C-alpha cells in the first residue's frame, strides 16, 4: 500500500508543530494533578522509577504504533482502521477500534471539561485572595461550595468548552497548531516558574529526595498494586487508545521520524510530570501537609499552603493558570477525532462539525456536573454519571483500545508496512520495537485492564 500523501484536514507545518501538539495532547491534568498524588500514595521515588520504565517499555511502543497507523491511514480513526483492515485483507469490524477511540474521547471530554472548569474557577479564587489564611476545613468548604453549585459549574464548563471548540473549529494549521505554539511554551514557562518558587519557599531537598531516591521499602505489601498503577498511569498519561494520537499522526509529514518524535513526546510528557512533582511536593513538605492526600491534593491541600506562603495569591493564580493550559491542550485533541469524522463522512464544514461535536459533549457534561450535586442520588451500576464515565473510559475502553492497537500493529499489519512507516530498517531498533509491541505491551495493558476490573484481586493477584 502507498499511503496518501496528505490528510484532507491539513498537515503539521513542521516537525516541531507535531511534537508540541502531541505533547499537548499527552500533557494534561493527568500529569499535573494525577501523577503527583499517585506518586504520593505509593511512596515517591520507587513509584517514579517504575513509572519511567513503564513509559519506556509500554507507552513508547504503543504510541509509535498509534502514530504509525494514523499516518498510514491519513483519516479519522474510524476510517483509518477500516481502510487499513481492508488493505490487509481483514474484517471491516476493525473500524470498531476507531469507534472505541472516538467514544472514549467523547466521554472523557464530557467530564474532563467539568474538572477543567474547576481549574478555571480556582484561577479567580486564587487571584481574589480566597486562599489567604485558609485552613483544612476552609479549603474543603471552598471546594465543596464550588462542586455543590450546579449553576456555577455549568458556567465554567460552558466557558471551557467554548475555548475548546474555538480552537478546533479553526482547523489544523490556524487552530490546533497555532494554539499549541503558544500554549505549550507558556505551560513550560509557568511550570518552571512554579518549580523555582517551590525551590525558594518550600522544602526542595526533601521533595527531590522523595521523588528521586527510591525507597522500595515503601512498596512493601503492595508492590504489585504499585506496578499496575504505574503501568496504568504511563499508558493514560500519554493519551493512548483514545484516537487523539492517531488523528495527530495522520497530519504528520512522511519524512518525519515516528520513533524520534515519539521519544521526544514521551520525554516531554514525563518531564512535565516530574516537574509538577517538584513544584508541588516542596510546598507540601514545607507546610507539614500529607503527600498522599489523594485527588484532593490540588484543590484542597495546596490552597492551604498558598494561603500561608509569600506571594501565595500570585503563585496560586499562576499554578491554576498552568492547569488550565494543560487541560486545554488535551481537550482540543479529544474533540479533534470526532470533528474529523463528521467532516469526512457527513460532509460538514470544519466549523459546523466542531460546533456540533462540542455542543453534544457540552450536553453530556451537564449530566456529569449534575451528578455531583442535584443528581447525586442518581446512580447507574452503583456510580454517579461522572464516576461511571471515568470508570468506563479509564478501565474498559482505553485499555481495550491499547491492546487492540498493539495486536493490529504487531501481528496483523504487514511487516513491510511497519518497516516502511517507522523507517528504522530491519535492524535492532525495529526488532526491539516489534518484540515490545507484540508481547510485552499487550500483556502489560491486559494486566492493567484485568486489575481495573477486579479480576486479579478475585484470584488474589492484585
**pTM recorded for the entire structure:** 0.94
**What is the distance between the alpha carbons of residues 348 and 21, in angstroms, rounded to a whole number?**
24
Average pLDDT of the segment spanning 27-39: 83
378 inside domain:
yes
Q: Mark 198-215 as b/e (b = at least 16 C-beta within 10 Å).
A: bbebbbbeebbebbeebe
Average pLDDT of the segment spanning 135-158: 94
Of the listed ranges 44-48, 162-166, 411-415, the one predicted with least confidence: 44-48
Residue 461: its pLDDT value, please?
59
User: 352 with 182: CB under 8 angstroms?
Assistant: no
CATH number of the structural domain spanning residue 301 = 1.20.1740
Residue 16: its pLDDT value, please?
95
Residue 456: its pLDDT value, please?
62
How many domains in the chain? Answer: 1
Of the listed ranges 207-221, 270-284, 305-319, 376-390, the one predicted with least confidence: 207-221
Average pLDDT of the segment spanning 100-116: 95
7 inside domain:
no
Residue 287: how many other CB atoms lie within 10 Å: 18
- pLDDT tens per residue, range 376-408: 999 998 999 999 998 898 888 998 999 999 999
- pLDDT tens per residue, range 126-145: 999 999 989 888 988 999 99
**What is the distance between the alpha carbons of residues 216 and 232, in angstroms, rounded to a whole number?**
19
**For the CA atoms of the chain, what is the radius of gyration?**
21
- pLDDT tens per residue, range 258-302: 999 999 999 999 999 999 999 988 988 888 877 776 667 788 888
Average pLDDT of the segment spanning 240-247: 94
Contacts of 195 (CB under 8 A, 6+ apart): 275, 278, 279
Residue 460: its pLDDT value, please?
60
Average pLDDT of the segment spanning 95-118: 95
Residue 289: its pLDDT value, please?
78
Residue 229: its pLDDT value, please?
83
**What is the distance between the alpha carbons of residues 363 and 365, in angstroms, rounded to a whole number?**
5
At 291, give phi and psi (nearest 5°).
Answer: -70, -20
Name the grid cell of 98: 476507531
Average pLDDT of the segment spanning 320-341: 95
146 inside domain:
yes
Residue 128: its pLDDT value, please?
95
9 inside domain:
no
4 inside domain:
no
- pLDDT tens per residue, range 401-425: 999 999 999 999 999 999 999 999 9
**What is the distance between the alpha carbons of residues 380 and 368, in angstroms, rounded to a whole number?**
12
How much of the chain, in percent, has pLDDT values that exceed 70?
Answer: 97
| Residue span of the structural domain in which 107 resides | 15-458
Three-state DSSP class for residue 380: strand
Residue 458: its pLDDT value, please?
57
**What is the distance between the alpha carbons of residues 301 and 389, in angstroms, rounded to a whole number?**
26
User: 194 with 322: CB under 8 angstroms?
Assistant: yes
First-to-final CA distance of the chain: 43
Whether pLDDT at 341 is above 70:
yes
Give 383's strand partners.
Answer: 380
Average pLDDT of the segment spanning 72-92: 96
At 64, give phi and psi (nearest 5°).
Answer: -60, -45
CA distances from 117 to 96, 163, 273 (A): 31, 11, 21
Contacts of 424 (CB under 8 A, 6+ apart): 259, 430, 433
Residue 462: its pLDDT value, please?
57
- The pLDDT confidence band at residue 33, using thresholds 50, 70 and 90, is confident
Helices then strands, each counted (H, E), the chain: 25, 0
Q: Mark 131-161 as b/e (b = at least 16 C-beta within 10 Å).
A: beebeeebbbebbeebbebeebbbebbeebb
- The pLDDT confidence band at residue 34, using thresholds 50, 70 and 90, is confident
Whether pLDDT at 50 is above 80:
yes
Residue 1: its pLDDT value, please?
53
At 383, give phi and psi (nearest 5°).
Answer: -130, 150
413 inside domain:
yes
6 inside domain:
no
Mean pLDDT of the chain: 92
Three-state DSSP class for residue 3: coil
Residue 295: its pLDDT value, please?
67
293 inside domain:
yes
Average pLDDT of the segment spanning 353-369: 98
Amino acid at each position: 500500500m502507498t499511503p496518501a500523501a496528505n490528510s484532507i484536514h491539513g498537515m503539521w507545518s513542521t516537525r516541531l508543530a507535531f511534537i508540541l501538539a502531541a505533547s499537548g495532547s499527552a500533557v494534561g491534568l493527568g500529569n499535573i494533578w494525577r501523577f503527583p498524588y499517585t506518586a504520593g500514595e505509593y511512596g515517591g521515588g520507587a513509584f517514579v522509577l517504575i513509572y519511567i520504565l513503564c513509559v519506556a517499555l509500554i507507552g513508547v511502543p504503543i504510541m509509535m504504533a498509534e502514530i504509525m497507523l494514523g499516518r498510514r491511514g491519513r483519516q479519522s480513526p474510524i476510517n483509518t482502521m477500516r481502510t487499513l483492515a481492508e488493505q490487509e485483507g481483514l474484517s471491516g469490524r476493525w473500524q470498531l477500534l476507531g469507534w472505541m477511540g472516538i467514544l472514549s474521547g467523547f466521554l472523557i471530554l464530557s467530564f474532563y471539561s467539568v474538572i477543567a472548569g474547576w481549574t478555571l474557577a480556582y484561577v479567580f479564587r486564587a487571584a481574589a485572595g480566597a486562599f489567604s489564611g485558609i485552613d483544612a476545613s476552609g479549603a474543603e468548604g471552598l471546594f465543596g461550595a464550588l462542586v455543590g453549585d450546579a449553576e456555577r459549574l455549568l458556567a465554567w464548563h460552558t466557558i471551557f468548552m467554548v475555548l475548546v471548540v474555538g480552537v478546533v473549529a479553526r482547523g489544523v494549521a490556524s487552530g490546533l497548531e497555532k494554539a499549541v505554539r503558544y500554549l505549550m511554551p507558556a505551560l513550560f514557562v509557568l511550570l518552571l516558574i512554579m518549580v523555582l518558587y517551590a525551590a525558594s519557599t518550600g522544602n526542595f531537598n526533601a521533595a527531590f529526595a522523595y521523588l528521586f531516591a527510591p525507597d522500595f521499602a515503601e512498596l512493601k505489601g503492595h508492590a504489585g498494586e504499585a506496578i499496575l498503577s504505574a503501568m496504568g498511569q504511563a499508558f493514560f498519561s500519554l493519551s493512548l487508545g483514545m484516537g487523539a494520537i492517531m488523528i495527530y499522526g495522520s497530519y504528520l509529514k512522511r519524512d518525519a521520524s515516528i520513533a524520534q518524535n515519539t521519544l521526544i513526546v514521551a520525554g516531554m510528557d514525563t518531564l512535565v510530570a516530574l516537574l509538577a512533582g517538584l513544584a508541588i511536593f516542596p510546598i507540601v513538605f514545607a507546610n507539614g501537609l500529607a503527600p498522599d492526600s489523594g485527588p484532593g491534593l490540588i484543590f484542597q491541600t495546596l490552597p492551604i499552603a498558598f494561603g500561608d506562603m509569600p506571594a501565595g495569591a500570585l503563585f496560586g493564580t499562576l499554578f491554576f493558570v498552568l492547569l488550565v493550559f494543560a487541560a486545554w491542550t488535551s481537550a482540543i485533541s479529544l474533540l479533534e477525532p470526532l470533528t474529523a469524522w463528521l467532516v469526512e463522512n457527513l460532509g460538514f464544514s470544519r466549523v459546523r462539525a466542531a460546533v456540533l461535536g462540542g455542543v453534544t459533549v457540552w450536553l453530556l457534561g451537564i449530566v456529569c456536573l449534575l451528578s455531583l450535586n442535584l443528581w447525586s442520588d442518581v446512580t447507574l451500576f452503583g456510580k454517579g454519571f461522572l464516576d461511571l464515565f471515568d470508570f468506563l473510559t479509564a478501565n474498559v475502553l482505553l485499555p481495550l483500545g491499547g491492546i487492540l492497537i498493539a495486536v493490529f500493529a504487531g501481528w496483523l499489519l504487514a511487516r513491510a508496512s511497519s518497516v516502511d512507516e517507522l523507517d528504522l530498517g530491519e535492524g535492532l531498533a525495529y526488532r526491539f520495537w516489534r518484540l515490545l509491541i507484540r508481547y510485552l505491551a499487550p500483556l502489560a495493558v491486559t494486566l492493567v485492564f484485568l486489575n481495573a476490573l477486579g479480576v486479579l484481586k478475585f484470584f488474589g493477584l492484585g
